[in-house]
Structure 1
Amino acid sequence: MSAVAVVTGLGTAAPNGLGTSDYWSATRAGKSGIGRVTRFDPDRYPAKLAGEVPGFTAESYLPGKLLPQTDRMTRLALVATDWALADAGIRPKDLPAFDMGVITASSAGGFEFGQGELQNLWSRGSQYVSAYQSFAWFYAVNSGQISIRNGMKGPSGVLVSDQAGGLDAVAQARRQIRKGTDLIVSGSVDASICPWGWVAQYTCGRLSTSDDPATAYRPFAATAAGHVAGEGGAILIVERLEAARDRGADIYGAIAGYGATFDPRPDSGREPGLRKAIGLALADARIRPEEVDVVFADAAGVRELDRVEAEAITSVFGPYGVPVTAPKTMTGRLCSGAAPLDMAAAFLAMSDGLIPPTVNVRPAAEYRLDLVVDRPRAAAVRTALVLARGYGGFNSAMVLRDLDSRNGRT
């Protein structure tokens, strides 16, 4: 029988809260972290709103030697990893190095670091370009820096599939756990709120240009007109169930099922792949649709993409057949960091017996979704389904279960 992969630690950095406690308190209360961009002057750009992580000063958390060689996303990821390891009660130096690995996701790499070095190249000359540019921008840099900082020499890697990447990374972590590795640091943190990153994101044609934080990002609403970009995400400690129990760890829950598909060409006449991904995840978890207590939606905020997601959900669960939520309306879409943050919210929802709300949205009746809006909904959450879609046709779905749903918790 395959080893069960469980999550024992969470470290989050979100626009509505730095650290898991602040994030969850804000999310329960429906507090948004979306506002006008402050990391650069957005006046010359059509989109001016973002979800920015508040109160993060890297110097307060990391040694000075790391700062010249790291982008903001890597600094956030390193600190979130420290928090996740502490939450799990793990001291890496006490464990065999080859029994620990790091698998993260990235959507853009270290855009802000790269922008600064390109500016140096153009304005001052090549001698002013940092040697750290060779890796600080790279998609795999978070995995590399986390593994170096914590002495982790086991299976490692990076997944690049835009917003779906966070789930894909955790799924790969689960595979390595099943192959015998005791612990994998996984999840994702993305951050590219800088002019270069902003232009890159705007080219997708899906950014909202509204100046009102309360109306800019409204997935599943009749007035949906794009999403707000954000930064942040979550790092999760994934362990083999037996290893976690042997050391007496507190366990948030299990990674029970996963499915991934690609959409066909838009002109192919074939249906999008999200419904298939959901079916694969449920089959992998060996559960029926009626066992799912909540769906954390991808929530694109684009009418056609919202329609596709709503049809996938209702085709599996029936019209209004399952509570649906999108707490990312309080943070914006965090690229590859979005789904791991939704995973963290799902595990916290299991602990607290509630479903976090989707704020500032009145769902259009045509979607036939039971969208949880305005305030949390009390519910016994034992099984959650997290959905994520990446630009270019990536679809991923992951089933999370409380251990009470897997033969009891010890």
Structure 2
Amino acid sequence: MNHFELRGGELHCEDVNLARIADEVGTPVYVYSSATLERHYTVLRDSLVGAGLKDPLIAFAVKANSNVAVLRTLGRLGAGADVVSEGEIRRALAAGIPGERIVFSGVGKTEAEIAFALEVDVAEINVESEPELHLVNTVAQRLGKRARAAIRVNPDVEAGGHAKIATGKAENKFGVSFAEAERLYANASNMAGVTPVGVACHIGSQITDLAPMEAAFRKMRGLVERLRAEGLSVERLDLGGGLGVPYFNQPEPPSPADYAQMIGRALQGLDVQLAFEPGRMIAANAGVLLARVLHVNRRPEGRNFLVLDAAMNDLLRPAMYDAYHDIRPLRPRDGAPETYDVVGPVCETGDTFTRDRQLPPLEAGDLIAFMSAGAYGAAMSSEYNSRLLAPEVLVRGADFAVVRPRPTYQDMLDREQPAPWL
């Protein structure tokens, strides 16, 4: 469920007319619904608890949407943060999420990032290779600390909505094999700077079938049982994220309740704290990208190009993943649908959001919304073609606030300086 709906013929976010935001803030602009963020988090939390799962740590994947206001909205409900850089740790802390609810993942943590994570006392560092385990141990000893570490396992299970977001196969760069995991966990238990607290996995993103998840989770259960049989303590099992969301062109994915019940079956009787790293399932349908039609280029050969003021630098997913986003006019007109190629102004053909899309009739000046843009939208945006970053707006009820303003061109230029000889 999301809180974007037509009222009186105009698209609203909660109780705010989206056209009002477009007029006051300008376009392109990202808009997020507090009510949707809160609902998606609480539905997942309540489903997990309702399935009898012990004290789950739900660490929102900051890479999906790193806006501090979004993180604070979720943090106030008890969410933690799954982070993959020092910058994301700092964003989580700035949002009021304490270190004890932060999980530090990623295959390439630097020495400085590990040190910072230890200084702020994160809940766990997900270790993804043997060299990284030794680096964590070295840094922790130098600081006089013990790092709480989990060994991330690659369960060799294929899943994910696109090859670029599948992470659980042996050929992917993430994690270690089960055999390596057992050896590394035992080694970690003898290290002066490491306390192994658990094991972790994450097999991909936009997964719409629970079967590969269940297969991976049952493998992880077996690993926990083998480690305990060797006399090793395993306090936490991190199951990652990846549950898909509806992008309006796909069948409805499994519900959080179905997901939780599956986990309950797979892990029944296993006394361990569970951690989760959802991102897309919480944020995607909580946000839209608003854009304005610059003009409609009607070609003699019959193609209609709908040229927007938003571009691939604002919303990269279609160019990078061939991703589908539902497109809705903010003030839909009556009339027969027309077929459009929806494009942006960036100087390359890849700046195409969709081809041959049937939409209500549109004209220059009309406003449209890219739906399901709350995850991997603003977080992946750039200033390609020296275009200014789109601002971000958070709505609560009848109120809205700009939570990341649009920079000025001077702001953009001030970040650079000429070399002394220029």
Q: TM-score range by the shorter chain?
A: under 0.3
Normalization by structure 1: what TM-score?
Answer: 0.26
Q: Which has the larger radius of gyration?
A: 2
Q: Which has the higher contact order (CA 8 A, sep 6+)?
A: 1
Higher helix share: 1
